[in-house]
Amino acid sequence: SQSGLKALALVLQKWVRHFHGVAVQVQPEARVDDEAWRWHVGLDVESTALLNDLYRGNEVAPERQQRLISLFRLTFDDPQDMQLDVRGKPVYLGLAMNTEGLLKIKPQNLLLNLPLARSI
């Protein structure tokens, strides 16, 4: 339900602020309709591979796309906190289950792969 996704989005926002000291907004999205899509972070192995394929324009089987549990749009409150080449662009976050229906979240991906202007 949307309330669960909104709660997870709030946790992700707070986590980024706590560990990176930057304010972001995270909101659930139904899909990426962004011709200027520049950055994404998978919160697990499955969503990383799926988002990489979609970004590259590779064909993705419908049953694989259906394993995407949630998609989020992350925006920085201050674009100056972002790398120059993606400044002002959203970061898309994905979360997907594997072929067995299991979710193996790797939230450290969010900490290690954001396009920050400075390293932590």
Using pLDDT thresholds of 50, 70 and 90, give the confidence band for residue 69. very high
Question: Which residue from 76, 79, 74, 77 is spatially nearest to 94, judged by alpha carbons?
Answer: 74
Task: Please determine, for residue 32, whether its predicted confidence score (pLDDT) is greater than 90.
Answer: no
Using pLDDT thresholds of 50, 70 and 90, give the confidence band for residue 99. very high
Q: Cα separations (Å) of 73 from 13, 14, 59?
A: 11, 15, 22
Q: Indicate the pairing of strand 68-76 with strand 39-42.
A: unpaired
CA 65 – CA 96 distance, rounded (Å): 9
When comparing pLDDT for 1 and 15, which is higher?
15
pTM of the model: 0.92
What strands lie across the sheet with 68-76, from one edge to the other?
Answer: 24-29, 68-76, 91-96, 39-42
Mind listing the pLDDT tens digit for each residue in 2-25?
Answer: 678 899 999 999 999 999 999 999
Amino acid type, 28: P
Q: What pLDDT does 119 receive?
A: 66
DSSP structural state of residue 82: B
When comparing pLDDT for 27 and 35, which is higher?
27
In the chain, what are the domain boundaries? Answer: 2-112
What does the pLDDT average to over 52-81? 95
